[in-house]
Amino acid sequence: MPDPNTPEPSEVREIRINPIVPSESVLVATARGMRPKKAEDLAPRDTRKHVETCPFCRGNEHKTPPVILSWPAEGEWQIRMVENLYPVLGDDREQAGFNFGLQQTIDGYGRHEVIIDHFEHGIAIHDMAESHLAALFGVYQTRMRQLFESDERLKYVLVFKNFGPAAGASIPHTHSQVIAMPVVPENVDAEVKNSAAYYAKHHHCIFCALIDEALTFEATIYDRNSGAVRRKINVGQYVVERGEKFIAIKPFASRYEWEVHILPLTHQADFLDVPADDMADLARVMKRTMARLDAVIGGAQYNFFLHSVPHGGSDSKHGVPHDMARGEYAASYHWHLEICPRTSIPTGFELGSGLFVNTINPEQAAERLRAVEL
């Protein structure tokens, strides 16, 4: 018999501190009255296989900017990488900096490229073959390496994907994007710095510690006054999917209801260091995780992005306070893929407070994702 004094586990209302970036907190508020988000119908995504007028569909190759690489190299392409027609960062021409008082700029040089993930127009990740997904991760890695090697001013290569109109995809054909930047994005920088500080204190990687916790953590939370059991936290409750080399976990301080992170099980700072043989397991964990998300949400629209250790040296010229010799962070940083399904639209409360609001208890969300039969 459940103790009637034990509140429903669904009624959680607490501010959770992101263990890696403590300045980033999440209000987990699951009681109905706390739901600040308007339930809006998100625009449906395009699921067609081939669209005559789509520049990314086969047969329309002449409509895209120049091709950078394609896979396989011979025969009909399955994955194709092209330059972006509307780059947010320009080419490598250095521009005269605009610096006036408090208005400081950094040259917008860099690269912005598009990866056509699959020849099929509206195919979802979980419907792609594992071998195809493994090749896609291989393309990400190849291009990251080429970009870092091409220009030492590039400090960060961000690989990301917007899928579905709710996630800001402007072209419905499934694609990822690569942006190479002369600066390290602030959120990555915060992760890098905070995990280095944790390492200095505890002599081990905080991401590895979180994986261990996700796999083994067990705790009982008692009521402060009555001493009654309030909540039990079970073994492996944050694990969504586990492969041989990779794991998908639900972050304790998830910003988004269905946010899931994929990490290598053994320590690795740089996505460039993933051996080709491991890509199949990464693809399998990714495919199964996306299938779980899709089953629970019903047509997942999401953003995902790769966070890997930055490259390049310190750059005092631009006032970037980094010393990004990657060796320095090789022991403390741990690359990961953050998957953020978009099931709601942020409100003024979130934008104004900087506090993310999550209306589903992450432990329960993980349980629902695990329960999906694949």
> How many other C-beta atoms lie within 10 A of the C-beta of residue 138?
17
- Residue 26: which of 259, 183, 215 has the closest Cα? 259
Say how many residues touch Zn ion, by CB under 5 A: 12
Q: Does the protein bind Zn ion through residue 184 (CB under 5 A)?
A: no
CA dihedral 77, 335, 361, 29 (to 10 degrees): -110
Among 54, 136, 179, 272, binds Zn ion (CB under 5 A): 54
| 187 Cβ contact partners less than 8 Å away, ≥ 6 residues apart | 21, 24, 307
Q: Does the protein bind Zn ion through residue 267 (CB under 5 A)?
A: yes
7-12, Cβ contacts within 8 angstroms, sequence gap of 24 or more: 7/230, 9/231, 9/361, 9/363, 9/364, 10/361, 10/364, 12/361
Pick 208 or 372: Cβ nearer Zn ion = 208
Site for Zn ion in 306-345 (CB under 5 A): 307, 334
Q: At its nearest, how many Å lie between Zn ion and the CB of residue 120?
A: 8
The span of 103-111, 131-139, 146-154, 205-213 binding Zn ion (CB under 5 A) equals 205-213
The span of 49-57, 162-170, 241-249, 316-324 binding Zn ion (CB under 5 A) equals 49-57
Q: Where are the beta strands (DSSP E) in 72-213?
A: 79-83, 111-116, 156-163, 175-181
Q: At its nearest, how many Å lie between Zn ion and the CB of residue 288?
A: 21
Q: Backbone phi, then psi, for 197, in 5-degree steps?
A: -65, -40
Indicate the DSSP class of residue 211.
H
Q: Does the protein bind Zn ion through residue 148 (CB under 5 A)?
A: no
Query: d(Cα 120, Cα 107) in Å, to the nearest integer?
Result: 37
Q: At its nearest, how many Å lie between Zn ion and the CB of residue 334?
A: 3
Query: d(Cα 171, Cα 287) in Å, to the nearest integer?
Result: 22
Pick 137 or 207: Cβ nearer Zn ion = 207
> Order of strands across the sheet with 356-358?
13-17, 25-29, 356-358
The span of 104-112, 168-176, 228-236, 311-319 binding Zn ion (CB under 5 A) equals 168-176
Among 135, 205, 282, 324, binds Zn ion (CB under 5 A): 205
Q: At its nearest, how many Å lie between Zn ion and the CB of residue 222?
A: 32
Q: Pattern 101-130, binding to Zn ion, x per CB under 5 A?
A: --------------------x---------
Site for Zn ion in 56-75 (CB under 5 A): 56-57
Among 111, 118, 173, 287, binds Zn ion (CB under 5 A): 173
Pick 208 or 215: Cβ nearer Zn ion = 208
- Residue carrying structure tokens 């120049």: 66
Among 208, 265, 330, 372, binds Zn ion (CB under 5 A): 208
Angstrom distances, CA of residue 319 to CA of 180, 191, 312? 19, 19, 14
Pick 206 or 369: Cβ nearer Zn ion = 206
Footprint of Zn ion on this chain (CB under 5 A)? 51, 54, 56-57, 121, 173, 205, 207-208, 267, 307, 334
